[in-house]
Chains A and B, each alone.
Chain A
């Protein structure tokens, strides 16, 4: 198997605690999807390590997650820029979505 295709199928994971006051409310949800869309990787989010997983690029689905402050967001990503995508999303959550 070529290295490129190996990278495509690799499922990278990361998790981060929501520390902003409102949790995954409307504006944070929008920022998360916008950030995820900047990458080609497929990125999914869940509030538990075993899912259910939802598409991080879908504002409708992300807003339905309704995760609160203190909950942990789990990310998994696959694709050539999966690792950069996870770094960016974890950073966004840690920066409290730039809102506080």
Chain B
């Protein structure tokens, strides 16, 4: 049995990250591992590389991890988190260019069907196409 792709949500707000994770989890139950990181190290609005790395490790799957982000810093800090990971894991983590809440739900849904990382990313990003 192969593992499903994991999902990580990275927001400037812990509440947004937690809420988006709750929504995705309500859709797919426990079939997909979902983790989130939100807020800076001081607990304010922002993002924190260490907590993003921790979230990726929590959601880790050998099939890879898809990250959903909100604004600029969430993306750059997620990129930094990926850079700091073990070399053999880096290419199995992708950042999706998709709206954070809807993207998380769609990515989790796609992952729950056993799709690979590229397909999970593509489904989240399909939201951007009209």
Q: Are A60 and B114 in contact (CB under 8 A)?
A: no
Contact with A along B12-40 (1 / 0, CB 8 A): 00000000000000111000000000000
Q: Are A58 and B113 in contact (CB under 8 A)?
A: no
How many residue pairs at the A-B interface have CB separations less than 8 Å? Answer: 31
Q: Are B28 and A60 in contact (CB under 8 A)?
A: no
A96 is an interface residue with CB less than 8 A from chain B: no
Provide the residues of chain A in CB contact with B77, threshold 8 Å: none
Q: Are A58 and B126 in contact (CB under 8 A)?
A: yes
Provide the residues of chain A in CB contact with B126, threshold 8 Å: 58, 60-61
Q: Are A34 and B113 in contact (CB under 8 A)?
A: yes
A57 is an interface residue with CB less than 8 A from chain B: yes
B109 is an interface residue with CB less than 8 A from chain A: yes
Rounded to whole angstroms, the CA-CA distance of A65 and B114 in the bound complex is 23
Interface on A for B, CB 8 Å cutoff? 26-27, 30, 33-34, 37-38, 57-61
Given A58-B126, A59-B110, A60-B126, 16 more pairs with CB closer than 8 A: A27-B26, A27-B27, A30-B27, A30-B28, A30-B105, A30-B109, A34-B112, A34-B113, A37-B114, A37-B115, A58-B123, A59-B106, A59-B109, A60-B106, A60-B123, A60-B127
